[in-house]
Structure 1
Amino acid sequence: MSNNIDFYVVPQYTLFGVPKCGRGIPILGIPMEDTVSFRPGTRFAPSVIRTWSQYFEFTPTEDLGIDPLEKACDLGDLSLMQGMADKNLERINLVVKDAINTWGRVVNIGGEHTLSLGVARAVRESQGSYGIYIHVDAHLDSREEWPLGQSLSHATFVRHIINQVRPQSLVFLGFRSYDKEEINFVRGLENSTLLSTRDIRSMDYHELRLLIRGVIDSYPGPIHLSIDVDVLDPSIMPGVGNPEGFGLNYGELLRIIKAVLDYGGSRVKAVDLVEYSPPNDPGLMSLPTIIKLILDVLNYL
Structure 2
Amino acid sequence: MGNNIDFYVASQYTLFGTPRCGRGIPILGIPMEDTVSFRPGTRFAPSIIRSWSQYFEFTPTEDLGIDPLDKICDLGDLSLLQGMIDRNLERINLVVRDAISTWGRVINIGGEHTLSLGVAKAVRESQGSYGIYIHVDAHLDSREEWPIGQSLSHATFVRHLINQVKPQLIVFLGFRSYDREEMNFVSRLENSILLSTRDVKSMNNHELRLLMRGAIDSYPGSIHLSIDVDVLDPSVMPGVGNPEGFGLSYSELLRITKAILDYGDSRVKAVDIVEYSPPNDPGLMSLPTTIRLILDVLNYIRT
Quickly name the TM-score band, shorter chain normalised.
over 0.9
Match of residue 55 from structure 1: 55
| Alignment match, 2:223 | 223
Gaps of 5+ in 1: none
Q: Which residue of structure 1 aligns with residue 237 of structure 2?
A: 237
CA offsets, 1:243-276, max 9 Å, x none? 0000000000000000000000000000000000
CA distance in 1, matches of 2:214, 2:183: 23
Deviation digits for residues 142-167 of structure 1, max 9, x if unmatched? 00000000000000000000000000
- Displacement of 1:2 after TM fit? 2.2
In structure 1, what is the Cα distance between the partners aligned to 2:155 and 2:281? 21
Q: Distance in 2 between matches of 1:88 and 1:223?
A: 23
Q: How does 1:7-46 map to 2 (within 5 A)?
A: 7-12=6-11, 13-46=13-46
**CA shift for structure 1 position 229:** 0.1
Q: Deviations over 1:212-266 (max 9, x none)?
A: 1110000000000000000000000000000000000000000000000000000
TM-superposed CA distance for 1:64, in Å, is: 0.4
Given the alignment of the two structures, is residue 2 of structure 1 paired with residue 13 of structure 2, yes or no?
no
Residue 294 of structure 1 aligns to a residue whose secondary structure is helix
Corresponding residue of 2:73: 73
Q: Give the alignment of 1:1-301 within 5 angstroms.
A: 1-4=1-4, 6-12=5-11, 13-301=13-301
Alpha-carbon shift at residue 3 of structure 1 (Å): 1.9
C-alpha separation between the residues in 2 aligned to 1:42 and 1:139?
A: 17
- Secondary structure of the structure 1 residue equivalent to 2:29: strand
In structure 1, what is the Cα distance between the partners aligned to 2:243 and 2:192?
Answer: 25
One-letter code aligned to 2:233: D
Paired residues in the alignment total: 300
Residue identity in the other structure for 2:71: K
Question: Post-superposition shift, 1:7?
Answer: 1.2
SS at match of 1:130: coil
Structure 2 counterpart SS, 1:120: helix
| Gap runs ≥5 in structure 2 | none
* Deviation larger for 86-95 or 6-15: 6-15
Cα deviations by residue, 1:46-71 (Å, 9 ceiling, x for unpaired): 00000000000000000000000011
* Structure 2 CA distance for aligned equivalents of residues 201 and 295 of structure 1: 23
Write the distance in 2 (CA, Å) between the matches of 1:128 and 1:200.
Answer: 32
Residues 9-44 of structure 1 show CA distances to partners (whole Å, capped at 9, x for unaligned) of 111110000000000000000000000000000000
TM-score normalised to structure 2 length: 0.99
- Tell me, in whole angstroms, the C-alpha distance in 2 between the residues paired with 1:144 and 1:151: 6
Amino acid at match of 1:24: G
Query: Quick one: which amino acid aligns to residue 174 of structure 2?
Result: G
Report the residue type matching 2:6 in the other structure.
Answer: F
Structure 2 SS opposite 1:190 = coil
3-state SS in 2 of match to 1:116: helix
